[in-house]
Structure 1
Amino acid sequence: ESVIEILNKLAAQIKRTQDPATGVWYQVIDRSGDEGNYLESSCSTMFVYTLLKALRKGYICPSYMEVAKKGYEGLLTQFIEVDDKGVVSITKGCAVAGLGGKPVYRTGDYNYYITEKIRSNDAKAVGPFIMASLEWERLFQKNSCGTACE
């Protein structure tokens, strides 16, 4: 299987698990309605970046543009906050999650993932948000004819 084939399968699952109300994704993406689960910024920013770059490069079907647009708009409405001094923050990022440890304390079960610390401005959300924003700008910047590139 090529990387592009894997990417296309991933894009299909990203689309399938996108929250229809907000456009972003849950911490545990296959359990969106379960108690304690929450909309999470690091996975959402990574998914949006992946879709936008793959669209720009022509690696995935243009029909994913609606998923990417809804996702990017969701990032702005669900996670981006600007304080009264103009400082921008990205909220609701899982501070850390993993498996194992000695003794085993990271079990990888549902309860583990929904109880890990949530914080703002986590690098796992900030970096992909910046990259997604750059891809957004590249896709929708004005071309030499003065029209948006889509």
Structure 2
Amino acid sequence: MASDGWLALLLLLNTLPLTQWMLGFAGWYDSHDAYSTFMFYFPFSHWLALGPTFYFYFRSLTNQDFRFGRAEKLHFLPAAVYLVWRLVLFGYDIAWRHWSLGEPFTGHFGTKGALAGLSEGVDGDLELLGYISIFAYGRLTLRDYQRYRRYLDDN
């Protein structure tokens, strides 16, 4: 069932930020090796994808004819841009500068490249946009829920 896939994605998106906290408390930031580097480059926060995922989960539960098509994919464009941004950070700092050119990391005890520090400010702004997105999709979901309730009452 399509709603099962949306629920699985919703659970994954909600557990990734918790995973970052738990790995941080497990000492991954303080290990000063590949674990620390992983913590700086893995995209743990997916706030921009959380709103559309919740909305489409609701739609898949309440509408048997709901299909995830091209127009619906556009809702995930901001989240895809964020993932590309994180991939560029990884590609430049780790794949290009560290692996190809052999340059050592300069930040956080030799585990963090130049662009990883730049991403911290951008990630904060993206998180704010994600909260706005969640609010907007929450309003859409509430609107659709009210329509669905009227439909149930009428039928």
Q: TM-score of the superposition, structure 2-length normalised?
A: 0.38
Higher RCO, 1 vs 2 (CA within 8 Å, ≥6 residues apart): 2
- Which has a greater percent of helix? 2
Bigger-Rg structure (1/2): 2
- Between Structure 1 and Structure 2, the one with more strand by share is 1
